[in-house]
Amino acid sequence: MNQRTIYLDRNENNYGPAPACFDVLRNTDLAKLSWYSRSFTTGVQSVLSSRIAHDFGLTEDRILLGYGAENILKQTIQCYLGKNETLMVPAYSWWYYKVIASEVGGLSVEYPMIMGKDQFFYDLAGMREVFSRVHPKVVFISSPNNPTGNTLPLPDLKAVLGDFRDAVIVLDEAYTYHGKTEYVKDLVEANPRLLVVRTFSKYYALAGVRIGFAVLGRNLPELSKFANRYLGFHRLSEEIALAALDSPDYYRVIAQKMAEDKERFYDELVRLPGFRVFKSDTNFILAEIPPDHKERLRSFLIGRGLVIKFMNEPLLNSHVRITLGTQEENRLLIDAFKAYFD
Ligand SMILES: Cc1ncc(COP(=O)(O)O)c(C=O)c1O
């Protein structure tokens, strides 16, 4: 029997997108494939950026669309980080940050994060110390952070932004949903060199469509110019993303199921021998596992068609990052963990 592989390793949303997104593909006017968008004739980049701007209460020129959040992060680095200049990143963070800095000959310097008993925290004093020592050109803050799952609380975020004025600050909110708009306008208005980056890949289950966006502070004209797409965006992707934004009820139900499953995971995982589980504000959970089980556990899970992320980084090398899947998938994974340690 061919067993299905269940991927719980890249923080995707295995429930899939809202039905309205599929309807876009079913009902689309195929002629669109042949023609560039004509949004520019109405003075905007795209229908999607207009909608996003409206939702955030900003003008459309303050929204930057990209081929996923990764593309926006990379363009920001290409635009602002020169050779031998410094990017500041969290000590525990998405590996991609350092790679894009090295691609332009830049340096990455890590700022510390506090590993609590069952939760990670941003270390404000540590961030300030590193900032004043290395004078970075660009600072990345990720909230909730991948792979640690913790958020930088808004008052703390505002406090450090106030201290980091000379740098370009990227707030990577890939794991935040679109409805959370209320604080973004104030943040970017108060911090002209800040950009807040989001994506349709996670909450909206549209990783394959590759759309991310940034809300820009007023003083990032170099980036707006650098990232300009004179011939527009992928016209079907824009419409699919709009359909997702118009389906909040569908996504709310999924978020509720995930929240319940996350609690279930905590309860089950903390009981496993040698496990330390970290609280997460997002769709994945980081857990430390007994190091000598790493390879055997990986093979055991793969034997059951279950793929999770076994971390392999200097500070996190006996840890797993588990993406929450559907309720059925989560149950299979929990059963597999229990069977392994039985
Ligand atoms: C923190 C973080 N930012 C950005 C991204 C990239 O998202 P996208 O699919 O929009 O490129 C990821 C992907 O896993 C991520 O973990």
**290 CA to centre of ligand 1 in angstroms:** 28
Q: What pLDDT is stored for residue 10 in this prediction?
A: 97
- In terms of Cα–Cα distance, which of 284, 313, 283, 311 is closest to 297? 311
pLDDT of 88 over the 60 cut: yes
Q: How far is the CA of 329 from the centre of ligand 1 (A)?
A: 22
DSSP for 52-64, please give it: HHHHHTS-GGGEE
* Confidence band, pLDDT 50/70/90 cuts, at residue 85: very high
Angle at 125 between CA 119 and CA 127, to 5 degrees: 85
Phi-psi region of 151 (alpha: psi -120 to 50; beta: other; left: phi over 0): beta
Please give the Cα distance from 254 to 299 (Å, whole number).
Answer: 30
Q: How many angstroms separate the CA atoms of 96 and 6, rounded?
A: 24
pLDDT at 41: 84
In a mutational test of the pocket of ligand 1, which residue from 176, 178, 199 has the highest number of ligand atoms less than 8 Å from its CB?
Answer: 199
Q: Considering only the C-alpha atoms of the chain, give the largest distance between any 2 of them, rounded to a whole number of Å.
A: 65
Statement: the pTM of the whole predicted model exceeds 0.75: yes
Q: Is the model's pLDDT at 3 over the cut of 90?
A: no
Question: What is the structure's pLDDT at 42?
Answer: 86
| Element holding 7 (H helix, E strand) | strand 6-8
Return the ∠ at Cα 238 (arms to 234 and 242), rounded to 5°: 170
pLDDT of residue 182: 87
- How much is the pLDDT for 228? 86
Residue to mutate (ligand 1; options 8, 146, 198; most atoms within 8 A of CB): 146
pLDDT digits (tens, 9 = 90+) for 28-66: 998 889 999 988 888 888 999 999 999 999 999 999 999
Per the CB < 8 A criterion, the answer to whether 241 and 204 are in contact is yes
Instruction: Report how far ligand 1's centroid is from the alpha carbon of 198 (Å).
Output: 8
pLDDT at 1 over 60: no
pLDDT 10s digits, 56-84: 999 999 999 999 999 999 999 999 999 99
